[in-house]
Amino acid sequence: MFYDFHFSDNTVGTSLTDSRTIAGAAFWLHQFGRDWFGGSYRFQRLTYEPGSGETNVHSFMAVNTLSLPLRFTLSGFVGPEYSDNRGMVPAGTDGNSHFTNWSVASGVDAGWQKDHTSIAAGFSRRINDGGGVLGVARVQGVHASLRQELFPGWAVALSSSYGNSKALTIPAAGTASSIDSAMVGAFLERNLGKSLTLHMGYSHEFQDQSGVVNPIFEGGAHRNRFSVTLGYQWERPLGR
């Protein structure tokens, strides 16, 4: 997995950091009856614009998925997360530009599904690249969704999420130390055939930054997003 974020047109008074993320993961799962249990390892290499630092993140997780009565499912992960940070100074200290950090990463998702209706909700806590604003950050958030099939070939979905991102390093002068973000959205899905699906959606997003002394960010930032996606899925078993 590879992500590259480059910001070329910043508003006066703001500061965004170019970042690059390389990530990979390995899983081992074993089935016990209707349940699954196992472990996973995930590696992330987060690099920022030249001279802004680098972070390597190693995550070791125990994962479990339970099939419960009445069509409920419960899945979760928990385990240590280790980050090695170079070229950045840890928040709340006067330390040097190389430091390490141990923390606990965790998450849980609960779901319920009937013939034409599904509901899901969850929580997660992990390290990520800070979205170009915070540098390396610890993110925790909750999310929920509802999907309802209206009639054959048509479905509608509602979703919402809230998250808080907190920088693990000392932010540059005038930049955020943490970010609160929220989203609510509605989506319409149309099945156009065996492998073709059309998605149309609207979402309203809100973001508020802490630690920024700038009139631009007073009251937070609001954004309306409209999307149209045409998806095609093709599957073929190996060896045939």
For the segment 69-103, what is each residue's pLDDT rounded down to a tens digit?
889 999 999 999 998 887 665 555 555 567 788 88
Question: What are the structure tokens assigned to 19, written together?
Answer: 């970042």
Q: What whole-number distance in Å separates Cα of residue 64 and Cα of residue 94?
A: 40
Residue 237 lies in a domain: no
Residue 105 near residue 58 (C-beta atoms within 8 A): no
Question: Is the pLDDT at 183 greater than 70, yes or no?
Answer: yes
One-letter amino acid for residue 115 of the chain = D
Q: What whole-number distance in Å separates Cα of residue 18 and Cα of residue 118?
A: 38
189 HSE (CA, 13 A, CB side): 17
What confidence score (pLDDT) does residue 159 get? 96
Q: Which residues contact 47 (CB under 8 A, 6 or more apart)?
A: 19, 20, 53, 54, 55
One-letter amino acid for residue 188 of the chain = L
Residue 201 lies in a domain: yes
Residue 16's CATH number: 2.40.160.10
Residue 19 lies in a domain: yes
Query: pLDDT over 70 for what percent of the chain?
Result: 75
Q: What whole-number distance in Å separates Cα of residue 41 and Cα of residue 31?
A: 19
For the segment 121-171, what is each residue's pLDDT rounded down to a tens digit?
999 999 887 766 677 788 999 999 999 998 888 999 999 999 998 887 765
Domain residues for 112? 2-232
Residue 141 lies in a domain: yes
Q: What is the mean pLDDT of the chain?
A: 82
H or E element in which residue 38 lies = strand 35-48
What confidence score (pLDDT) does residue 162 get? 95
Residue 12 pLDDT class (50, 70, 90 cuts)? very low
DSSP type of residue 11:
P
Question: What are the structure tokens assigned to 144, written together?
Answer: 């929920």
Q: What whole-number distance in Å separates Cα of residue 48 and Cα of residue 185?
A: 31
Residue 239 lies in a domain: no
Q: What whole-number distance in Å separates Cα of residue 130 and Cα of residue 139?
A: 8
Question: Is the pLDDT at 67 greater than 60, yes or no?
Answer: yes
DSSP type of residue 235:
-
Residue 101 lies in a domain: yes
Q: What whole-number distance in Å separates Cα of residue 108 and Cα of residue 78?
A: 9
Residue 165 lies in a domain: yes
The total number of structural domains in the chain stands at 1
Question: What are the structure tokens assigned to 218, written together?
Answer: 């007073």
Q: Which of these, 103, 22, 6, 95, lies nearest to 55 by C-alpha position? A: 22
